[in-house]
Amino acid sequence: MALYSILPVTEDVEKVEYVEIDYNGHHVLAAVTPEGYKLERLTCSNFENYLDEGLQPGTLLDSRLINKIM
């Protein structure tokens, strides 16, 4: 069976470590990077929080606002 793909089959994919964080009263999923924690996903029922520029995916989280790492 032949596999035809635009992506290399033997692509090296680095493993990303994710942690759940209570960030300034918001439950978020963040990726651990050498620079700190980078926001990946916001889990919230308040729709206004999704419009907050400080809670956009890819944002580097301020360590002073991290309340708890779960």
- Per residue in 3-37, pLDDT (tens digit) is 787 877 676 778 899 999 999 999 999 999 999 99
Q: How high is the pLDDT of residue 58?
A: 95
Q: How high is the pLDDT of residue 3?
A: 75
**Average pLDDT across the chain, whole number:** 89
Q: How far is CA 52 from the centre of its chain?
A: 16
Does the pLDDT of residue 40 top 70, yes or no? yes
Q: Are 43 and 25 in contact (CB under 8 A)?
A: no
Indicate the residue type of 41.
Answer: R
Q: How high is the pLDDT of residue 44?
A: 87
Please give the model's pTM, rounded to 2 decimal places.
0.76
